[in-house]
Structure 1
């Protein structure tokens, strides 16, 4: 029986989401005849972990659904065993990259990838704690319907089977496997900048425009701003649309995505801490390597948790956005290398060549920092212009500048190191017995 991993990484209370994702797991097992490993990777506070454990215990039993709820102690025990088995030269550094002391969107998903490998899964399907499913006729609209219908099958087979509503893929890619299936979200912006847009549209244009690469024209910046963080808009789901092509990664969000194991077992995600967007890297890899994908409209409902907008939560979230902007200095050169390489990123068996990506990441670490100095100066000006809590954040940010510049460079260097270690880590995970009491 085919095994798949439906994963929910979380660091906040999400009892309702656990119940909803549990229902999706049961649906997938029933609808597709697969074994679903529902994996909840929990980095929340101890009392919240206990509430989550109760929510897991309350899930209705479902045939061929196995639920694992791992707190950070359990995850750390697994990682130590896998890292030791891999023979890594710097085990403590790898452990820090896989389970850092701060929030890391890439690292939490990397842990799901390794555990999926240990469980013999052929795909990972990721959801987020601040997500809800749309309803149609009172029933939830599960993205896994499209994910399991297409992942791993050749594009030609998917096109002929009728599981997509349209296909625009170049016939040259017809014999390649579908590596990515994803949708987006409806509702609020995926990044919590809507208040800035309401307060000062011009400041919003400048702050979001900092995402553009060095040398981008004003028109390119404006187009990027208009398309940023909007997802699938606000229209509710009424009927399926699923397009087979090189995936439209601007219409795919990491709360609504599935990847084939042939991708994530070869290349991990950047493990940068406190950096939003660090988990989107593999979407670029799939598209630029000319691997087929399916982009669908079973969008998840996005909403914001209140702590993002007040006090320490506000400061932490804005800092994650700043680090995202600084990370672009080093990620854009890699993205450009991926785009230039195109099909050369794949070997004869359509597998991603991780060594090329690691080499590109190492080279990008030497990028001149001038653009990041400019980004910080523009942010300081805009935040102070907004006033109130934004001006206070500018005061908080000012003494951190040198540290953040260093961290952005260190993050890409860490990513290259993790790519080098990833193959042995995946092989070690596959050789690690599961369901030990320690984890």
Structure 2
């Protein structure tokens, strides 16, 4: 029986998402005879966690499904034990990277990776709390339908089942390392208010995540595609492609990885940075590892917290840090693209040492491009006025700190990758 981890990290109320995820777990267990470890990593406040605990207690028992609901205290205990067993230097720093006091999209998924290893799972399937499943013919459209059958198996075994194959023959012997789709509904990054207020400002801001040397034409194309997912067309029938999956076609609310990916390279643990959890999508693509791109897209929505007086500046800061991170990640992605097959060892597994080298090389980049990004954001937000202008004032006071953080986040990622093999080994049963 294949043991898999179906994971939901959350820091907000999401009883409906928990109940729906449990239904997907039951579907996976019944249809694929899987042993599903349903993992809820709960960073919510005490009142919300208590409500989630009641939801979990009321879930119907399902054969083949085991539910784990861990608050941050329980996660910390697990991490401390794992770090101690690994015997690595700087245990407090490692704990801070894996369980930081600030929001980290990558770190929460890294904790899930370690827990999946501890549970003996062969794959991890991630969902988000601000999303829901589509329905078709009265039934939920579960992405796990395409995720479970072939992850970890040679790609050629999937050719007779998928709708189409675009893999070159030399890659058919490589393992299926990723399965994923995108979302329909609201933008994945909550910038629709800017787009409604001023299309020009929206273009100026969103284009800042492109490499600085891109032409205006390429930037316009990127802006049109950015954060839109699969649009708004609902699911009507299955379409699955065996391919090297384009990272722009997959969202982290709707993805599954084989263990040979996440047990070798974690995600960046950067705090307060949107998009910090997307690195493995690029790694799998650039290494030429096969994946299954399907169309069981998840419905995305935004919670109102991001638009409150406290939530708004916090969310905008995460977006700005995302823009600054791209100076380094574009450089790393270019290096990974050039490296291609050499990112893999003889067993078709990714080589962490290559990634560490690329990350450290990127930290020597001139920050001038990021200074320019901050200047452009400042101009754009002041043009919008209101609370955007107020955020620009806060941003101006933090410029130096933000520039330092963006570079330090890359070094922290390199350090975590170096520690990762020992952490995975220590977590394993």
- Tell me the TM-score range normalised by the shorter chain: over 0.9
Q: Following TM superposition, by how much is the alpha carbon of 1:214 offset from its aligned partner in structure 2, in angstroms?
A: 2.2
CA distance in 2, matches of 1:102, 1:215: 32
Q: Does 1:191 align with 2:189?
A: yes
TM-score normalised to structure 1 length = 0.97
Distance 2:122 2:283 in 1: 18
Partners of 1:346 and 1:211 lie apart in 2 by 28
Taking the aligned partners of 2:392 and 2:32, their CA distance within structure 1 comes to 51
- How far 1:369 moved relative to its partner? 0.3
The correspondence of residues 384-395 of structure 1 with structure 2, limited to 5 A, is 384-395=382-393
Gaps of 5+ in 2: none
Alignment partner of 1:243 is 2:241 = yes
Match of 2:7 in 1: 7
**Alignment map for 1:242-391 (pairs within 5 Å):** 242-391=240-389
Q: How many residues align?
A: 429
**What is the deviation of 1:332?**
1.1
Counting only pairs closer than 5 Å after superposition, residues 10-21 of structure 1 correspond to structure 2 as 10-21=10-21
> Are 1:82 and 2:88 matched, yes or no?
no
Aligned-residue CA RMSD (Å):
0.6
What does residue 97 of structure 1 align with?
97
The match for 2:408 is 410
Which blocks of at least 5 consecutive residues in structure 1 are unaligned? 432-439
C-alpha distance in 1 between matches for 2:415 and 2:306: 32
Could you tell which deviates more after superposition, 66-75 or 386-395? 386-395
- Deviation per CA, 1:369-393, whole angstroms, max 9, x where unpaired? 0000000000000000011111111
- Write the deviation string for residues 208-249 of structure 1: whole angstroms up to 9, x where unpaired: 000001211111111111110010100010001111110122
- C-alpha distance in 2 between matches for 1:277 and 1:105: 7
- After TM superposition, the runs of 4+ consecutive aligned structure 1 residues lying more than 2 A away are none
CA offset at residue 150 of structure 1? Answer: 2.1
Q: What do the CA deviations read for 1:47-103 (whole angstroms, capped 9, x no partner)?
A: 101001111111110001000000000000000000010111111000000000000
Secondary structure of 1:108's counterpart equals: helix
- For residue 153 of structure 1, report the CA deviation from its aligned partner: 1.5
Structure 2 residue aligned with 1:397: 395
Instruction: Give 1:363 deviation, angstroms.
Output: 1.1
Offset at 1:251? 1.0
Match of 1:117 in 2: 117
* Aligned equivalents of 1:151, 1:311: Cα separation in 2: 43
Residue of structure 2 in register with 1:38 after alignment: 38
Q: Secondary structure at the match of 1:210?
A: helix
Distance 2:376 2:137 in 1: 48
Structure 2 CA distance, aligned partners of 1:156 and 1:80? 41
TM-score of the superposed pair, with normalisation by structure 2:
0.99
* Secondary structure, aligned partner of 1:128: coil
Q: Distance in 2 between matches of 1:310 and 1:95?
A: 30
CA offsets 1:30-52 (integer angstroms, 9 cap, x no match): 00001000000000001101001
- CA distance in structure 2 between the partners assigned to 1:322 and 1:69 by the alignment: 32
d(CA) in 1 for partners of 2:100, 2:140: 35
Q: Which whole-Å deviations, capped at 9, do the CAs of 1:268-291 have from their partners, x for residues lacking one? A: 000000100000000000000000
**Partners of 1:184 and 1:278 in 2: CA distance:** 17
1:142, distance to aligned residue in structure 2 (A): 0.1
Aligned to 1:435: none
